[in-house]
Amino acid sequence: MLRNFPALVLLSVATFGFSLPAAAVMSWNDVEQMPLPTAGEHIAYGPLPLQFGELRVPKGAGPFPVAVLVHGGCWLSGFDRGYFTHMAAALTQMGVATWTIEYRRVGDDGGGWSGTFVDVAKAVDFLPTLARTKLLDLHRVIAIGHSSGGQLALWLAARHRLIGSSELFARSPLPLAGVIGLAPITDMETYRIGRPGSCNAVVDDLLGGTPGDVPLRYQDTSPRTMLPLGVPQRIFQGTQDPVVLMSDTEAYASAARAAGDSVVLTTIPGSGHFEPALPLKPAWIKVQAAVRELLERK
């Protein structure tokens, strides 16, 4: 049995007062209409204004497993963690401590290269400091990321493979027990190809150039090129997602398996880009099961 981890609670959409739009995939406007849950504890992991996270710890004796939540939004400053706190609150209710991180993004002072990656890494490596006073089990830590946050979550799981000469190298990064990607961006070089103003087009701004300009930055941040990650990965993808294509996710999953990683790709029929990132049926029940499975492995 998983210590200090309650039996899986299959929380319904009604539990959170959410409902799906009829006969349509969710839009960003639909997501923004959802009332946010009560905020977690605001804790700084660094001295800069955006270097903080929201910590939610379940009631009980602990110590509790931890999910680090990395929000998406095309790596842009215009999108923050707000929508992902629905997932955080739901996970905490099922017995998982959640650390929903904020970080500098493209458009923020110091965001993009290399501040975005420095921040998410620093936020994860701050967990031992939190564990000094919070009931956290650092042997059971997973990362969950959505969209561009999915790319960052996969990168967090892979960064132990960075060599010492990499600009993003850090000694002894906190190891993860697994990673869950919700419509994750998995290949930076191929994803960057898109129309001006699209999420795809932000990649060059994030990394400070094209693959021809800064090849090592693409090599050191793209989950596809960093395989094998060496941790189990559970990926969820809506079949009607216009932002991250099903074919891209399938190609990544196949490559990861070929490299020796444990990868399970779960498709969500009729869902778009946002449904997998929220505690909504049918994806939520499957995401809960994946969280439990990864945490029980330790």
Residue 14 has pLDDT above 60, yes or no: no
Q: Which domains does the chain have, with CATH numbers?
A: 13-296 (3.40.50.1820)
Residues in CB range of 121: below 8 A, 6 or more apart: 156, 159, 168, 170, 173
Quote the pLDDT of residue 298: 54
Check whether 10 has a pLDDT greater than 70: no
Residues 6+ apart with CB under 8 A from 215: none
* Tens digit of each residue's pLDDT (9 = 90 or more) over 183-234: 999 999 999 998 888 999 999 999 999 999 999 999 999 999 999 999 999 9
| Contact call for residues 268 and 25 (beta carbons, < 8 A) | no
**Whole-structure pTM value:** 0.92
- So what's the pLDDT on residue 281? 86
Tell me how far the alpha carbon of residue 36 is from its chain's centroid: 19
CA torsion angle for 286, 291, 296, 298 (degrees, to 10)?
Answer: 150
Residue 181's closest CA among 108, 226, 238, 131? 238
pLDDT tens digits, 22-81: 447 899 999 999 999 999 999 999 999 999 999 999 999 989 999 999 999 999 999 999
Dist CA 234 CA 124 (whole Å): 19
Q: Find out whether 114 and 168 touch, Cβ atoms under 8 Å.
A: yes
Residue 2 has pLDDT above 60, yes or no: no
Q: Give the C-alpha separation, 174 to 169, whole Å.
A: 13
* φ and ψ at residue 277, rounded to 5 degrees: -90, 5
For the cut 50, the answer to whether the pLDDT of residue 285 exceeds it is yes
Asked whether 102 and 81 are in contact (CB, 8 A), the reply is: yes
128-181 residue pLDDT tens: 999 999 999 999 999 999 999 999 999 999 999 999 999 999 999 999 999 999
